[in-house]
């Protein structure tokens, strides 16, 4: 009888250890999959942001700022004024 009790205890301990190991492995696998999914999403988002940044940079790089437009207009007006003044010197 005591032998039967000992076998039952051993079986219960072994079963509990196996369940703990299985749960631990499943937990680690879940974490790994979760991290991979999270980092995959993060990498995807960063790639999209970089692509958007490149498109915006190209669009804005060809655009002239209001200050530059004003400077070009002033230079044009000064050139016209200089040409008109040159007519008076002749």
Q: What does the pLDDT look like over 14-26, one tens digit per residue?
A: 555 666 555 555 4
Percentage of residues in the chain with pLDDT exceeding 70? 60
Q: Where are the domains of the chain?
A: 2-89
Residues 6+ apart with CB under 8 A from 64: 72
pTM over 0.75: no
- Per DSSP, helices labelled H in the chain are 2-61, 66-89
């Amino acid at each position: 009888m005591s032998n039967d009790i000992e076998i039952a205890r051993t079986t219960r301990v072994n079963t509990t250890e196996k369940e703990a190991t299985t749960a631990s492995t499943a937990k680690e696998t879940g974490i790994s999959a979760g991290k991979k999914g999270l980092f995959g999403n993060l990498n995807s988002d960063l790639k999209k942001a970089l692509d958007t940044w490149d498109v915006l940079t190209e669009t804005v790089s060809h655009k002239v700022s209001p200050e530059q437009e004003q400077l070009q207009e002033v230079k044009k007006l000064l050139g016209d004024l200089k040409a008109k003044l040159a007519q008076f010197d002749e």
